[in-house]
């Protein structure tokens, strides 16, 4: 599977049709199913075929609404698609009525001419960073069998990595597009939350929920972001020698996997040699915030407000581990909740002040490489410990109301590792622009690496 831009050019030159693209996509999906893949909760072949045929007919008449026209995309099973049931990776909502309209982001992608191949599997109600699902099966890491694909947008990342879709629409509350992208060797972008409407998406935490893409390149992410946000940002590459990056060893560098440490330091060294300024800075507020874990407290409280009636009626239908996290919000007092929100406001101010001197903040996207499914699933203690470790770094960006891009930075013989390029709220254009330059540098190394 190539990038969106490459497909768009092939479609424009009539070297490919949307129908042929869909044929290849469905063939890849069928191959995955034959091998027991758990990438989707629903595949809508008929609607996808109608959309592809319509795209080809429109193109023949000269109507091409965007670079996404005729390109296959997957949609996380958290978004409403007209006529389909949104299950959010759960059995709890299986009996819900079909959606009467598309979610806002889905509607914008449809208007742009995208072809939707299916609803991707996920952690139930997006409440885990590992991507495991006892109801629909757990999507397996497409690069290394037996390892997790990451979550909560697990099926979304797998759909892109296996060539089912050119890109995937996901959500990110504490890292849910960036974790699976990092684990599957892909690129993902978490925008400033307020930029993309959440209408028609099942909520987890309205304070932190973001809508973003998983794809194969920064350019793909920028293209999708422009559609789902309705904003055409200037993301032209920035000269690396003019950029000033910040690196901190407070909290986000604690207890890193050896492969992650090696890949991160290698990427930082490449940037320095390319002329970028990379400076170490102190960020002690990270440890202060981590002590009370206010993001988890706010998320649990907000999630409980949405789920309490479902839990009262149908608790047994929930993934037991998700239910345990939901119940943590049940006893939260109003005073405690207000204190957590105040802690978040303080951290947003502190983070903006700490990062004001830099063009971007660099950190490892996830502290570990993809863990083995068997290792994490052996008991609840192992599951919750690994879940917390996987969520630790990316969730900081959600808590500071920021934006972030993750790029693969591992060597071919290493397990997947993501490099995060982060900024404060509404620095999206700058982060995507910087990401283009960093991506080009990292790919230059891959191009010269020995086979």
Tell me which residues are annotated as active site: 76, 152, 176
Residue 120: C-alpha distances to residues 41, 42, 97, 108 (Å): 6, 7, 19, 18
Would the CA dihedral through 222, 224, 228, 231 be positive or negative? positive
Contacts of 152 (CB under 8 A, 6+ apart): 89, 122, 123, 126, 127, 128, 129, 131, 171, 173, 176, 180
Q: How many helices (H) and strands (E) does the chain have?
A: 15, 11
- Do you know the residue count of the chain? 451
d(CA 58, CA 45): 20
Contacts 24+ apart (CB under 8 A), 355-358: 355/246, 355/422, 355/423, 355/424, 357/244, 357/246, 357/281, 358/244, 358/245, 358/246, 358/279, 358/281
Tokens of 104: 């806002």
Q: 193: which DSSP letter?
A: G
Q: 147: which DSSP letter?
A: B
- Reported in sequence order, the residue ranges of 152-219 that DSSP labels E, i.e. its strands, are 167-172, 187-190, 210-215
Q: How far is CA 282 from the centre of its chain?
A: 27
Alpha helices in 282-415 (DSSP H): 285-292, 294-314, 320-327, 334-355, 373-376, 380-399
Q: What phi and psi, each to the nearest 5 degrees, are found at residue 98?
A: -60, 150
Q: What phi and psi, each to the nearest 5 degrees, are found at residue 321?
A: -75, -35
Alpha helices in 80-206 (DSSP H): 104-111, 154-161, 178-183
d(CA 133, CA 60): 43
Contacts of 120 (CB under 8 A, 6+ apart): 39, 40, 41, 74, 75, 76, 77, 153, 154, 155, 156, 158, 159, 168, 170
């Amino acid at each position: 599977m190539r990038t969106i831009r490459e497909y768009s050019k092939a479609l424009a030159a009539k070297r490919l049709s949307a129908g042929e693209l869909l044929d290849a996509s469905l063939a890849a999906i069928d191959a995955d199913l034959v091998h027991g893949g758990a990438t989707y909760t629903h595949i809508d072949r008929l609607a996808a075929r109608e959309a592809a045929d319509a795209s080809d007919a429109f193109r023949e008449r000269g109507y091409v609404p965007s670079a996404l026209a005729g390109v296959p995309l997957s949609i996380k099973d958290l978004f409403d698609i007209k006529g389909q049931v949104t299950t959010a990776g759960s059995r709890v909502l299986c009996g819900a009525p079909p959606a009467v309209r598309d979610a806002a982001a889905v509607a914008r992608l449809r208007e742009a001419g995208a072809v939707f191949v299916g609803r991707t599997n996920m952690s139930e109600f997006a409440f885990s960073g590992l991507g495991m699902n006892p109801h629909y099966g757990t999507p397996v890491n497409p690069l290394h069998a037996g390892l997790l694909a990451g979550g909560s947008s697990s099926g979304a990342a797998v759909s892109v990595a296996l060539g089912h879709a050119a890109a995937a629409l996901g959500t990110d509350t504490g890292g849910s597009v960036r974790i699976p992208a990092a684990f599957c060797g892909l690129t993902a972008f978490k925008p400033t939350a307020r930029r993309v409407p959440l209408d028609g998406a099942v909520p987890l935490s309205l304070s932190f929920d973001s809508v973003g893409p998983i794809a194969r390149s920064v350019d793909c992410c920028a293209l999708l972001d422009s559609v789902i946000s309705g904003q055409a940002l200037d993301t032209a590459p920035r000269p690396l020698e003019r950029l000033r990056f910040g690196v901190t060893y407070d909290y986000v560098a604690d207890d890193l996997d050896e492969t992650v440490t090696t890949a991160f330091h290698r990427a930082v060294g490449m940037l320095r040699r390319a002329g970028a300024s990379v400076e170490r800075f102190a960020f002690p507020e990270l440890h202060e915030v981590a002590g009370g874990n206010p993001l988890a407290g706010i998320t649990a409280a907000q999630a409980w407000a949405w789920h309490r009636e479902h839990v009262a009626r149908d608790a047994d239908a929930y993934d037991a581990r998700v239910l345990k996290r939901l119940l943590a919000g049940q006893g939260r007092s109003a005073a405690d909740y207000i204190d957590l929100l105040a802690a978040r406001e303080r951290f947003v101010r502190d983070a903006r002040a700490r990062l004001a001197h830099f063009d971007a903040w660099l950190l490892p996207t996830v502290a570990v490489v993809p863990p083995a499914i068997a290792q994490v699933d052996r008991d609840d203690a192992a599951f919750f410990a690994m879940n917390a470790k996987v969520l630790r770094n990316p969730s900081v960006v959600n808590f500071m109301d920021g934006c972030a891009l993750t790029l693969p930075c591992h060597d071919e013989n290493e397990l997947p590792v993501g490099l995060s390029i982060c900024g404060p709220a509404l620095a999206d254009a700058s982060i995507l622009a910087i990401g283009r330059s960093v991506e080009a540098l990292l790919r230059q190394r891959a191009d010269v690496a020995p086979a």
